[in-house]
Structure 1
Amino acid sequence: MKKLIFGLLLLLAAGATTLYYSPGALLASMQLVERQLAGLSHEQITVGDLSIHYYQGGPVDAPTILMLHGFGANKDNWLRFARHFTERYRVIAIDLPGFGDSSKPAASYDVGTQVERVAAFTQALNIERLHLIGNSMGGHIGALYAARYPDQVLSVALFANAGITAPQKSQLIEILERGEANPLVVNAPEDFDRLLNFVFVDVPYLPAKVKQYMASEGVANRALNQEIFGHLVNRYIPLEPELAKIQAPTLLLWGEQDRALHVSSIEVMRPLLREPMVVVMKDCGHLPMIERPAEAAMHYQAFLDNAD
């Protein structure tokens, strides 16, 4: 028995040492814990010539919620938010092509093209009706999807969505118009802290080594991210002409201190939609589902209850 206990202690010590010196392994362990808490599994499907990775959880015969992340992000953005919905819904959080573990083809990444890729993904999974939720670029894609496929969409929730010319310019727009570096692209390791401080009011805790690892990953992806951002700007599809085509109930949820996309976008969208529900979260930035996941989930559940 003493030898067994000693052996287990050695294994634990070796595992701890591996995690300490391998921030990638530590991050993977953290993600695994979050997935288990959310009741999600990591899945992959081939759609055309694309390999699409996604998280899935909840009853397969329940209504589907499809979650679309923003620019430079991936399916992990939804982990703490998703755990509030997997008891009642089939939850799917996708890595959009160009991001996360999904394919990164030498092709277009404008929102119109991404909408059709998402439509092909839902068809491959035999999803006939769904609730859509998207943040930032993902909200732009989700709104355009709801406009193009109104018979398929049960509801659409837009968390600080792109695609609107706001009455008041955001700090991101002002920075880009001055020709300064895009704060959403990590060009050097020190840019990662700047990114976190830009998109959050209260930056979530990350272990130092995990933060360093994520910064290095951001630097490694900078060329593709710059290319994708260029497609979003140069092949821009405005939402204003599309919103009236959305038939489903719509939630507009924004962080009041969003520096990337200004909260005044709501003023443009509200009259163009069919009785939208509007929520503005105080002391919150661009990623409410990460910064305050329980509160954002409460608002979203209230919206779903009202939409049913």
Structure 2
Amino acid sequence: MTPLVLVHGFMGGSAQWDAEIAALSGTRPIIALDLPGFGANAHLPPIASIVGFAEWVLADLQARGVEAFHLLGHSMGGMIVQEVAHRAPTRVRQLVLYATGAIGVLPGRFETIAESKARARADGARATARRIAATWFREGAACPAYEGCAAIAESAAPDAIDAGLDAMQHWSGEAALPKLQQDTLIIWGDRDRTYPWRQIETLWQRIPTTHLAVVPRCAHAVHLENPDAFVPLLRQHLDAAG
């Protein structure tokens, strides 16, 4: 059975996928990665480019002996998996682009990347992690899933925060969207403060084969706010691949 590889976003980690792993592990192998500088790999040297992250993902999967896989990327992870799909099109079966876009500098983001970098340096890694994690939920820090998500974000190394922001700031995959060959599911929460609708619409319209799922009353972390809606979307998409 073809495994599903989960790539978290900025200040994320593999532990944020516990609900999805529990729900889907009986149907297929699940590989949840921790990117260098984040989560369980916070001790690894950070990477400051989306291409560099993509190359790391491919090398990690190669080391595990994984040749073919389905691929899901959340937020910054969605940028990374786009690059992976371009670099290894025959290895990626189905693609899921979740709460992400084709450019790293986002008009309408809750704050500019430059502001995030300045505030991270001024406030410190822990305060930055908790502040940004709150923006991922429709109810902010009042959401029941917030504390667990913030704890994962707090594990990010300070230099990884700066490097991750640099990676996003200097990346654009918009011109390459028509070349994506994979059958692609796009998932978006209709209250996402990070990726506005225009970014999602660009993915939906410019990737040749797409399916769009908009989840109501959710922000940037649909998989944590409403896993009961998120998991069936994944299951249906993966089942369609046989």
TM-score (norm 1): 0.68
1:76-155 maps to which residues of 2 (within 5 A)?
76-102=15-41, 104-106=43-45, 108-155=47-94
Mapped pair 1:249 → 2:193: no
Gaps of 5+ in 1: 1-61
Shift of 1:129: 0.8
Q: Aligned pairs, how many? A: 238
Q: Distance in 2 between matches of 1:151 and 1:258?
A: 32
Q: Distance in 1 between matches of 2:58 and 2:19?
A: 25
Q: Which amino acid aligns with 1:129?
A: A
- Residue-by-residue CA offset, 1:151-185 (whole Å, 9 max, x unaligned): 0011010111143379x83233xx227x6446995
| Secondary structure class of the residue paired with 2:51 | helix
- Residue-by-residue CA offset, 1:14-63 (whole Å, 9 max, x unaligned): xxxxxxxxxxxxxxxxxxxxxxxxxxxxxxxxxxxxxxxxxxxxxxxx22
1:32-43 maps to which residues of 2 (within 5 A)?
none
Q: Quote the residue 1:218 is aligned against.
A: 154
Is the 1:81–1:294 contact (alpha carbons within 8 Å) kept by the matching residues of 2?
Answer: no
**Percent identical:** 24
Q: Which amino acid aligns with 1:231?
A: A
Is the 1:183–1:191 contact (alpha carbons within 8 Å) kept by the matching residues of 2?
Answer: no
Residues 214 and 241 from structure 1, CA distance in 2 versus in 1: closer, same or farther, beyond 3 angstroms? same
Q: Which amino acid aligns with 2:67?
A: E
Is the 2:104–2:171 contact (alpha carbons within 8 Å) kept by the matching residues of 1?
Answer: no
Residues 147 and 269 from structure 1, CA distance in 2 versus in 1: closer, same or farther, beyond 3 angstroms? same
Q: Which amino acid aligns with 2:180?
A: I
Is the 1:70–1:134 contact (alpha carbons within 8 Å) kept by the matching residues of 2?
Answer: yes
Mapped pair 1:197 → 2:131: no
- Residue-by-residue CA offset, 1:56-77 (whole Å, 9 max, x unaligned): xxxxxx2200000000111111
Residues 240 and 197 from structure 1, CA distance in 2 versus in 1: closer, same or farther, beyond 3 angstroms? same
Q: Quote the residue 1:187 is aligned against.
A: 124
1:2-17 maps to which residues of 2 (within 5 A)?
none
User: In the alignment, which of 142, 145, 166 is matched to residue 230 of structure 1?
Assistant: 166
User: In the alignment, which of 234, 239, 242 is matched to residue 173 of structure 2?
Assistant: 239
| Secondary structure class of the residue paired with 2:40 | coil
Shift of 1:263: 2.4
Q: Distance in 2 between matches of 1:171 and 1:305?
A: 34
98-107 or 109-118, which deviates more: 98-107
Q: Distance in 1 between matches of 2:7 and 2:81?
A: 7
Q: Which amino acid aligns with 1:290?
A: L
| Secondary structure class of the residue paired with 1:257 | coil
- Residue-by-residue CA offset, 1:71-129 (whole Å, 9 max, x unaligned): 01111111112211101100010101121222645464311011111111111111111
Residues 303 and 255 from structure 1, CA distance in 2 versus in 1: closer, same or farther, beyond 3 angstroms? same
1:43-54 maps to which residues of 2 (within 5 A)?
none
Q: Quote the residue 1:282 is aligned against.
A: 216
| Secondary structure class of the residue paired with 2:154 | helix
Is the 1:84–1:297 contact (alpha carbons within 8 Å) kept by the matching residues of 2?
Answer: yes
TM-score (norm 2): 0.85
Mapped pair 1:171 → 2:105: no
Q: Distance in 2 between matches of 1:206 and 1:135?
A: 17
Divergent runs of 4+, >6 A = none
Measured on the aligned residues, the alpha-carbon RMSD in Å equals 3.0
Q: Which amino acid aligns with 1:195?
A: I
| Secondary structure class of the residue paired with 1:89 | coil
Shift of 1:240: 1.2
Mapped pair 1:303 → 2:242: no
Q: Distance in 1 between matches of 2:17 and 2:117?
A: 24
Residues 244 and 103 from structure 1, CA distance in 2 versus in 1: closer, same or farther, beyond 3 angstroms? same
Structure having the higher Rg: 1
Gaps of 5+ in 2: none
Q: Distance in 2 between matches of 1:221 and 1:240?
A: 29
